[in-house]
Amino acid sequence: MSKKNIRILASKSPRREKILKMINLDFLIIPSSVNEDFDLPMPPEAFVEHWAREKAKDISKAKPKSLVIGADTIVVIDSMKLGKPKNEIESISMLKLLSGKTHQVITGVSLMHKELKIDISFNDTTLVSVKKLTQNDISSYISIYSPYDKAGSYGIQDGFAAFISSINGCYYNVMGLPISKFYFVYKKLNYTYSL
């Protein structure tokens, strides 16, 4: 990775890091300090794109010569937006909401390079169906996996997979980054700007 084409992931998510490494992309990790305001009156798709862009913009200010990748993931159930649970009570409440229903996982992604005037945002949605959960299912899952850093209070890549009956859309989107859509957009940039 030469100095002129440094890429930065503006996230501390180990899942996003792992997904990007799958396509052999070299990048630095500089987490953004931006936190979502869930009271922002926006449709879910616009909401995740807005916060993904805010995160990328936060890092781009200090790194204008780098391509910064921002991302934001939420769960939407019954028109409610769910982020990361703050504690066990919120975690239990979220999993009860998801029990026996199909919800949306929506991830917004932003690619920003201030010097090259790149400012692109997009989103992707995956439908996830969850089996009916018992109180013991919920308590045991939270006790073992402590899902407080995950939107909707679960990880599709961990033990919660046992409770997922089907998904419609990108699996990696549920983990936090829609890799196929990202790769398509990134490659287009690569051709255009020689990143």
Q: Which residues are catalytic?
A: 72
**Cβ-based burial of 62 (10 A; exposed 0-12, middle 13-18, buried ≥19):** exposed
Q: Name residue 164's beta-bridge partners.
A: 130
Amino acid at position 40, single letter: L
Q: What is the 3-state secondary structure (H, E, C) of 55-123?
A: HHHHHHCCCCCCEEEEEEEEEEECCEEECCCCCHHHHHHHHHHHCCCEEEEEEEEEEEECCCCEEEEEE
84's torsion region: left (phi>0), alpha (psi -120 to 50) or beta?
beta
Query: CA nearest 182: which of 12, 22, 5, 30?
Result: 22
Residue 9 near residue 20, CB atoms below 8 Å: yes
Query: How far is it, in rounded angstroms, from Cα 131 to Cα 77?
Result: 14
